[in-house]
Structure formats: structure tokens, C-alpha cells
Structure 1
Amino acid sequence: MSTFQFRPRKIRYVASALAVAFVAVFTVVAILLRSEWTGAYFQLSDQIAMVGIGVMLALGVLLFARSRVRADEAGIEIRNLVGTKRFEWDQVEHVSFPDGASYARLELPDDEYVTIMAIPAVDGERSVGAMRELRRLKAGAAQDA
């Protein structure tokens, strides 16, 4: 049983760059807190807290880089910002990419859907290829049923 896996490319690059920028900017601000009189007394703990804020923001941005989709003949697994969900193909009505949408999505019964953040519009042809593969796997599962 072969497994198809896809992760976004451009979002990972942007998230990584932003994470580095957050840590760098907050570290510089922390260093500059005590270098000049500003009318307030900043302690070492304030500097550490400022770096900590930068690290926390960086970790938050990196959540966007962890999205992934895995699919095989049995079903599809989607990992978005927080959490992973698995759906069997018989639970999925369609794999779609609505006009103007930022991400692909799984259409479920009762007008519900799950966003697939691993397949963003900004990845262009890579995302088109991923959609084709997911639709092929779903169609194969429908024929087997």
C-alpha cells in the first residue's frame, strides 16, 4: 500500500523566516532595554522575558509549518495547526479547492468540511498535483467499494 504525503513549501519558508525574525528582533530589543535611560528601570528578568516572548511568537508561527496531508487507498490523514484527523474515504464526499480559497478542503456529509492547510493556493502547480493525487486515491477507493 503506497502512501502519498504532501507538505506546503512556501508557507514553511515564510514561517521559518518569520520565526527567526521574531527571535532576532526581540533579542535585540532585550539587549537595548538596559543600554539607555528610558525613564524606567529594566532588570535582567525583563530582558529574559522579552527574549521569551520572541521565542513564543516564533513557536506560534512555526505551527503553520507543521501542516501535512497523508493519504493511501484506505483514507486520508490531515495535520493542521493543532491536531491530526484521519478520515476513511467512504466518509469523504469530495476533495475540493473552491474558487478564491486559500486552502484545499475535504467535503464531508451534512455540509461540513475540513480545511487541508497542507495544500495552499500559494504553492501553485505543486498544490494542483497534490489535488490530482488525492482525487485519484479517492476515486480508486470508490471503485474498490
Structure 2
Amino acid sequence: MSDQLPSLPVTFRPTRTRAVLLTTGIAMFAVITAIAFMLETLNAGERASFVLTGALLFAVLVLLSRPKVVADETGVTVVNLTRRRRLAWAEILQVNLRAGDPWVFLNLSDGTSLPALGIQPGIGKQQAIRDAGALRALAEAHGSGPASA
């Protein structure tokens, strides 16, 4: 990692995973919708149920592609699947991405740990390592305690 901190604000997200999920969702929706209209034996209600099923599958994949971590001058916003949490820099004690971890974990000043799904080594392992290092450096520079682990 370079010695320079990233410019703020910065957004960390698993871009490859997001691209795969959204592309797959669009393709699935298109195929299911096409099948619904190609099958001549289906009535309008059955066609609508096919399209609704495709839309539901697409919505689930959009939800899975939602995670991100946004760092700015005042702190970090962690967006996971269904929740968003805003943290001040001083609340983040450690930024951890150990071998085998599915995503970054933030150890917080209240004694809890918060998963940050926006940095995950799945498809882009090297990018996740760089992003975790950048977030760790930002936490050290802006926070109140050591952020390495």
C-alpha cells in the first residue's frame, strides 16, 4: 500500500461482485420475462407471476450488491444488506481483515464488532486487502486509537 491516504470522501465496495450480481440479475429478469411471453399457453395472470418472480430475484441480487463503506472527514458510513450505520472516526478502534475472513470487521469503542460487507475478499482479494489497508490508515489518521490488527 502507498504511504498516502486516499482523498476523502472515498467509497469502498466490492465492484466485481457487484457487477456480477447486477449483470446476473438483469439477465435472469430478461430471460424469465421472455419465457413468460414466449409460452403461448400462459394467461395474463401466469405471465404476470413469471415477471414478478423475475423482479423478485432481481431485487434480491440488488440487495446483495448494496454493501459499501463510505469514509469522509467526520467518519464512516457502513452500508450492509439491510442496515446503515454511521460511525465517528473515534468509535473505530481496529480495522481487521484476517486470512479467511469473509469481510472486514470494525472493532468499536463500545466493545462490539461491526461487519463491513463493503470490503470483502470474495472475487477481488487484492482489492479488498488494499481497501482494508486504506481504511485502516484513515482510521489511524482520524481516530483516537491504534487501528491496526
**Percent identical across equivalent pairs?**
25
Q: Is the 8 A contact 1:73 1:138 kept in 2?
A: no
Q: Could you say which residue in structure 1 is the equivalent of 2:4?
A: none
3-state SS, counterpart of residue 23 of structure 1: helix
Give the structure-1-normalised TM-score: 0.81
Native 8 Å contact 2:66 2:80 kept in 1:
yes
Pairwise CA distance, 1:110: 6.1
Give SS of 2:82's match.
Answer: coil
Could you tell me how far apart the structure 1 residues matched to 2:68 and 2:106 are? 14
Of Structure 1 and Structure 2, the greater helix share is in 1
- Count residues in correspondence: 138
Structure 1 consecutive aligned stretches of length 4 or more whose deviation exceeds 6 Å: none
94-103 or 71-80, larger mean C-alpha shift: 71-80
Amino acid at match of 2:30: A
Distance 2:83 2:102 in 1: 20
Unpaired runs of 5+ residues, structure 2, are: 1-6
Matched residue, 1:77: 77
* CA positional deviation for 1:94: 0.9
Deviation for aligned residue 1:58: 0.4
Could you tell me which runs of 5 or more consecutive residues in structure 1 were left unpaired when the two chains were aligned: 36-41
- After TM superposition, give the deviation of residue 111 of structure 1 in Å: 5.2
2:32 paired with 1:31: no
Q: Normalized against structure 2, the TM-score is what?
A: 0.79
1:90 maps to what in 2? 90
Q: Give distance in 2, aligned partners of 1:111 and 1:53.
A: 42
Does the aligned pair in 1 maintain the 2:97–2:129 contact within 8 Å? no
